[in-house]
Amino acid sequence: MESTTYPGTCRDVILPVLEQTGLKVGKDFSLAYSPERVDPGSKTYSSRKIPKIVGGITADCASRVEALYRKVFDQVVPVSSTETAEASKLLENIFRGVNIALVNEMKMLFDRMGIDVWEVINASATKPFGFMPFYPGPGLGGHCIPIDPFYLTWKAREYDFSTRFIELAGEINTQMPYYVVQKAVEALNQQGKSIREAKVLILGAAYKKDVDDIRESPAVKIISLLQGKGALVSYYDPYIPQIKGMRNYPSLVMESVELNAERIKEFDCVLVITDHSNLDYGLIVENSSLIIDTRNILKDYQCEKIIKA
């Protein structure tokens, strides 16, 4: 079992089903858990190089799965149980979700204070101990961090325990698309334009740079919010040629537009949502009248038409 889930799934859900056959775990079959660890779009961490955690229902199950994965991965990390292995993956994702929520909250506060949150983070990151930089954005996406932590929230109720950090982080991260849209509305107002019937270009629909995964992408929420305010929204993403309806947005059907100087000039506002590496940001800055930069990708361009959000 590799799918992310709550502690106890292998022992309490999968094992009883398998033993309905009359076979016994550790004797007739083995059952183990090893959380998937991937970094989509990364050129640094290949699957073989990422340590692989393994935990078995029995000691024999654990040794078998460890032997299997040692043929594939450079490092295998055995733990004492499937529950420990299941919990480790949740902790990894919760750690990211909570810390991203923290810097997102700092971004909104520092924005009111006239302080650049990215400059603050980079300054803090010079400390060689006790600090790990996380960076804000327009909201969480992908099939892991926005969803997985709440498996543990659900399970915790069985133990009369409230996971307040997880739930608060979820609330903050969920609000980020609303914050981005409000920044766009305010920036357009400063130019004497209304969001209603404003032509808005979303740059990047994928949830993460340089990947073709749109699941839970904040870009989709932002598109929906802008359309709800009457904006005329288009998007460009070299990895996502079409949006064909999604779980929470079944009627949303769009196609990526061409990105050239003439087309960019047609838009009243450009929102940088996903900072793909292969975008021509110089072309975008030169031909845009207003840009909302949610990723600080345009930090080297100093002009008033770029608004950080």
Active site members: 144
Q: Residue written as tokens 């509305």?
A: 185
Q: Which amino acid is at 248?
A: N
The distance of Cα 21 from the centroid of its chain, to the nearest Å, equals 40
User: If residue 308 lies in a helix (H) or strand (E), which one and from where to where?
Assistant: strand 306-308
Distance, in Å, from the CA atom of 157 to the CA atom of 141, rounded to the nearest integer, reads: 25
Judged by DSSP in three states, 190 sits in helix
User: If residue 222 lies in a helix (H) or strand (E), which one and from where to where?
Assistant: helix 218-228
Distances (CA, A) of 74 to 59, 64, 92, 171, 297: 22, 16, 20, 38, 34
Bridge partners of 81, per DSSP, are: none
| CB neighbours of residue 236 within 10 Å | 20
Residues 6 or more apart whose CB falls under 8 angstroms from that of 225 comprise 177, 178, 181
How deeply is 252 buried, as exposed, middle or buried, from its count of CB atoms within 10 A (0-12, 13-18, 19+)?
Answer: middle
Distance, in Å, from the CA atom of 62 to the CA atom of 30, rounded to the nearest integer, reads: 8
